[in-house]
Amino acid sequence: MIKNESEFMKHELTLPELTMRGMLLGAILTVIFTASNVYLGLKVGLTFSSAIPAAVISMAVLRMCKDANILENNMVQTQASAAGTLSAIIFVIPGMLMIGYWQGFEFWQTLIVSACGGCLGVLFTIPLRRAMVVHSDLPYPEGVAAAEILKVGSQSGKSIGGLKEIMSGGIIASIVSFLTNGFYVLASGLSMWFSIGKGMTQFPIGYSTALVGAGYLVGITSGLAMLTGILIAWAGFVPYFTMTELPIDGQSMKDFAQMMYSQRVRLIGAGAMGVAAVWTLITLSKPVIDGVKESLAAVRSSQAEQSKHRMDIDMSVKSVGLVFLIVTIGLLGVFYIFVSPANLPATQTLTFVIVGVVLAVMMGFFVAAACAYMAGLIGTSSSPISGIGILAIIISSLVMFTLCTSFGIFDLPNGERFATATAIFTTSIILAIACISNDNMQDLKTGFLVGATPWRQQVALLLGCVVGAFVIAPVLNLLYEAYGFPGALPREGMDPNAALAAPQAALMTTIAQGIFSSQLEWKYIYIGIGLGVVLVIINLLLTKNTRYALPPLAVGMGIYLPPSVQTPLVIGAVMGYFLDKVLRGRNLNEEAVEEHKRKGTLFASGLIVGESIMGVLLAAVIVVSVSNGGGEAPLSIVSEGFASSSMPEMLGLVVFAATITYFCKIVLNR
């Protein structure tokens, strides 16, 4: 039974909760955080939780309204965080361009998949709320943190602060990004190459302030695991392959090392990531199944046994059924639009449509339950969505392989490409469901702690999915046209090293292509699988016998991702660890330590948002320039001599060091 601990938790609520002004503010924040997460996800394969910065911004803005309250602020952060999380669909859908099936992102198809998948994620977790939020002792780290910030901010006459940290981080990061990728005065990183015997390797440092912020949020355990992956790749496999193989005639050792990394080492990393992801899901399978059983039991219980309190009222069965019907029709329609250009016989087209939608919906339900539990157990940011994606692409590929074989699709021109694209499209729906179910349980936990009405929050979540879906497609297309992806460059002569890595999309595309063809060099995948097993065993021994851990999924990402992207992540994680040590060395109480760390979290979020939004804006400038016959660096103010000198690297290093110093000052200042 819920206790009426405050006026916000009373059944007879007279305060505004789901308001028009709140929905408008939530929509604005949705655009900002969705664009930021799309950029960050494509660049490094990570997204950040936007719940806390959205809550702080909401409180700062709505404080100007005399009747603003904690429940209204909660609705704003619910809407904004849902849309920001939905952007994780980018972990698979860029594969459409990588295989050449799309020449640009199809706006309506991407929008409908994002919106419908996200809405299903909301619907599928409604029956889980009672078991996993109300009657569970799961920690829900982000949800509890957001609730505490909202509670402090709602206290009369007390300012929560935090807007200064977010704004200063955003301004600093956007200026640095503009100087780096607009004026080209600063380099984006420094790379030092070394000969090792007959081989070669490199030691790079990336200067991305956003990734320093992301590393601070990720933490020391994952940061050191990524560093381990970097060392395995660049102090182990790359030197080994460059010493034991011969470069192509006329190829420099530097280019040869990069080729070995791209064609072999990254496949090893992919194998390790796959094993780690599957193991993580296996370890969580029992508690997830138990949680689903409890939720189904709660749904079957009679109305007389269920609380009638306002805080325990979900969306009605009729409303859920109506939304589900609309979403299902939308998925059937978009799948038909996707499949019909292949000009297959009508029965085959309908079979692909029905099988694809049924597979996505059925697997999506189980994925929603798994992700809901994982979010409560280890948090949204740490939840292995990549593992869900890997399993989904494997299952989708096997199902589509069976269909295509029975229909003789592989005998048709581009049959293999069609099969791969269909598997990716199905997986994108499943991943959209996973992303939202992974996030909205945190939001519902926040709402439960502050006295929100569940059905209103669920409406806000649905609204966030729809608004976010309108943002994802144009931002994706803009970033593709400006930067491109690995194997999918929009224009000839573009530098492939400057493309956005889109690591998860590249990995899942590689897996799908490997299932449909025999061209994938599986022996390196098998080496990665063996390495992944070893890493799982090492992590088990560490967590059982010591207080340390070595997350195998993070190690796999360390091998797979470009090192220039990961070094700032590692720097941010190590910086956060030492800042925590310094704060605790001051003999502060736990509340004071958390207050300092919260400033760091908000400043880090500001860095991510600032650099990401500037990246999107600069992408728009590049696209406009190229479409009008201009160059790909229209704002550059440096000469060729300056650009080829070491000066941009040195200036970039100075600015990077200054940003880190200011970050430390933000956290440590009394």
> For 467-479, how does the pLDDT look when each residue is reduced to its tens digit (9 = 90+)?
888 888 888 888 8
The answer to whether position 466 is within a domain reads yes
- For residue 206, list its beta bridge partners: 189
pLDDT tens for 216-267 read 877 888 889 989 999 999 999 999 999 998 888 888 898 899 889 888 898 8
Domain count, the chain: 1
- Whether the Cβ atoms of residue 177 and residue 184 lie closer than 8 Å to each other: no
User: Looking at 158-167, 414-423, 440-449, 629-638, which range is the least confident one?
Assistant: 158-167
Rounded-to-10 torsion of CA 174, 176, 180, 183:
80
Residue carrying the six token digits 């080829």: 644
| Residue 462 phi, psi dihedral angles, 5° rounding | -60, -45
pLDDT value at residue 141: 63
More confident residue, 641 or 147: 641
More confident residue, 540 or 157: 540
pLDDT tens for 295-351 read 556 555 544 445 555 666 778 878 888 999 999 999 999 999 999 998 899 999 999
The answer to whether position 555 is within a domain reads no
Residue carrying the six token digits 């970097």: 230
Residue carrying the six token digits 């990716």: 424
- 157 has pLDDT over 70: no
pLDDT value at residue 444: 82
pLDDT winner (highest mean) among 147-151, 643-647, 663-667: 663-667
> Closest by alpha carbon to 439, among 144, 28, 86, 30?
86
Query: What is the CB neighbour count within 10 angstroms for residue 386?
Result: 26
Indicate the residue type of 88. A
The DSSP line for 115-132 is HHHHHHHHHHHGGGHIII
The answer to whether position 272 is within a domain reads no
Query: Above pLDDT 70, what percent of the chain?
Result: 85
Residue carrying the six token digits 């509670």: 151
The answer to whether position 620 is within a domain reads no
- 287 has pLDDT over 80: no
Q: Over range 619-647, report the average pLDDT.
A: 82
The answer to whether position 171 is within a domain reads no
User: Looking at 60-64, 199-203, 289-293, which range is the least confident one?
Assistant: 289-293
Give the contacts of 28 (CB within 8 A, at least 6 positions apart): none
Give the contacts of 537 (CB within 8 A, at least 6 positions apart): none
- Whether the Cβ atoms of residue 45 and residue 504 lie closer than 8 Å to each other: yes
pLDDT value at residue 3: 38
Q: Give the C-alpha separation, 227 to 329, whole Å.
A: 46
More confident residue, 342 or 4: 342
pLDDT value at residue 52: 72
pLDDT tens for 587-607 read 888 888 888 888 888 888 888
- Whether the Cβ atoms of residue 70 and residue 154 lie closer than 8 Å to each other: yes
pLDDT tens for 73-94 read 888 887 777 666 677 777 888 8
pLDDT value at residue 76: 83
The answer to whether position 79 is within a domain reads yes
Across all residues in the chain, what is the average pLDDT? Answer: 82
The answer to whether position 568 is within a domain reads no
More confident residue, 663 or 638: 663
- 631 has pLDDT over 80: no
What is the domain extent for residue 360? Answer: 14-166+306-496
User: Looking at 22-31, 148-157, 431-440, 547-556, which range is the least confident one?
Assistant: 148-157
- Whether the Cβ atoms of residue 428 and residue 357 lie closer than 8 Å to each other: no
Q: Give the C-alpha separation, 410 to 419, whole Å.
A: 8
pLDDT tens for 347-396 read 999 999 999 999 999 888 877 777 776 666 655 555 556 667 777 888 89
pLDDT value at residue 234: 94
The answer to whether position 41 is within a domain reads yes
Indicate the residue type of 532. G
Q: Over range 526-554, report the average pLDDT.
A: 90
pLDDT value at residue 5: 44
**Could you tell me the pTM of the whole model?**
0.74
pLDDT value at residue 305: 46
| Residue 254 phi, psi dihedral angles, 5° rounding | -65, -45
